[in-house]
Amino acid sequence: MLPETPCNGKHAFCAIPGAGSAKAADAVMGFGDWAPDGLNLQASHRATLSTDSTRLTIMPHIFCVANQKGGVGKTTTSVNLSAALHQAGQRTLLVDLDPQGNATMGSGIDKHKLDRSIYHLLVGLAGLGEARVKSPSGGYDILPANRDLAGAEIELVNLERREKRLREALVTTMADYDFVLIDCPPSLSLLTLNGLCAAHGVIIPMQCEYYAMEGLADLVNSIKKVHAHLNRDLKIIGLLRVMFDPRVTLQQQVSSQLESHFGDKVFRAVVPRNVRLAEAPSHGMPGVRYDPASRGAQAYLAFAAELIERSGTF
């Protein structure tokens, strides 16, 4: 249960699994009585400037790619968006926060051969500079993950500021990046909570299908709780339609309902179902590098351009 009074951090873990169920699940497409601004949180008050010894630097945009459902395209989005942002000249860090290490492998890094990983960073056994590596195929930096990270869930429970460990680690590298993307695991766990506490915003990839809104409402409830109790900077950046097949009438219907209900919270870019995106990870490459001309790659390049264009408004 959530505490009634502002949370002192000790209750944070309890808050997430208890995220409320969705009113939105009731109605036909699952929209229920959601208002068009159902994804808007109170204006953030993100500090925009930080200094290092040589220059004044805009803080990076730190975005979680989150959806508690598995297999909805979080990792594909994180990896391809990182590569597309890097290609567009943006200094980009990808944080693999999933013990499956799929973003790590998809970035061309063997998760079985890591000396240091995000696990070591979160439990205080390594600094960010020691854990960070460069993706040979994508060009961006990455904090890699492997199964060790599953152990962090348990170890973190007994540590101070357990939900703020990633946030505190990222503070040390603010001046180095324009974008930090966090690939979250498919759960509303302490790892995801670390991601949400570190981020300014959440990008939610979703498929245009019948039950998509049910999961979305649970996620939005959790984001609202983190916003209320732990991270006032957090907001929902937008919904990204992925694995879209325009030949399926239901997908078209859900897509246009998303647009009419959530307006500009729905990104213009739409990622189609495209086999080249699915093939790329087995080559250790982001799709945008594996086959830049493919429709999937083009969609992620367009999405990166849209994010950069709108970044002044986040």
Ligand X SMILES: Nc1ncnc2c1ncn2[C@@H]1O[C@H](COP(=O)(O)OP(=O)(O)O)[C@@H](O)[C@H]1O
243 touches, from Mg ion, ligand X, none (C-beta below 5 to 8 Å by class) = ligand X
Contacting residues toward Mg ion, per CB under 5 A: 74-75, 102
The CB density around residue 300, as the number of other CB atoms within 10 Å, is 30
CA angle 207, 212, 215 (to 5 degrees): 125
Least distance to Mg ion, CB of residue 98, Å: 5
The CB density around residue 20, as the number of other CB atoms within 10 Å, is 13
Return the number of the residue (73 or 201) whose C-beta is nearest ligand X: 73
Residue with tokens 């990896």: 79
Strand 235-244 and strand 141-143: pairing? unpaired
278 touches, from ligand X, Mg ion, none (C-beta below 5 to 8 Å by class) = ligand X
> Is 246 a residue that touches ligand X (CB under 6 A)?
no
Least distance to ligand X, CB of residue 37, Å: 26
Return the number of the residue (76 or 117) whose C-beta is nearest ligand X: 76
**Region of 72-80, 144-152, 154-162, 249-257 interacting with ligand X (CB under 6 A):** 72-80
> Is 76 a residue that touches ligand X (CB under 6 A)?
yes
> Is 286 a residue that touches ligand X (CB under 6 A)?
no
> Is 80 a residue that touches ligand X (CB under 6 A)?
no
Residue with tokens 């229920």: 32
Q: Which of 62, 277, 288, 307 binds ligand X (CB under 6 A)?
A: 277
Six-digit token string for 207: 């498929």
Residues 6+ apart with CB under 8 A from 265: 39, 40, 236, 238, 239
Burial label for 297, CB within 10 Å (0-12, 13-18, 19+), is: buried
Return the number of the residue (46 or 276) whose C-beta is nearest ligand X: 276
Q: Which of 92, 102, 231, 298 binds ligand X (CB under 6 A)?
A: 102
* Alpha carbons 44 and 55: distance in angstroms, whole number: 25
User: Cβ(144)–Cβ(101) under 8 Å?
Assistant: yes
Least distance to Mg ion, CB of residue 102, Å: 5
User: Cβ(73)–Cβ(205) under 8 Å?
Assistant: yes
Return the number of the residue (215 or 281) whose C-beta is nearest ligand X: 281
Residue with tokens 């009113």: 23
**Region of 146-154, 166-174, 252-260, 273-281 interacting with ligand X (CB under 6 A):** 273-281
For ligand X, the binding residues (CB under 6 A) are 70-76, 102, 186, 242-243, 271, 273-274, 277-278, 281, 296
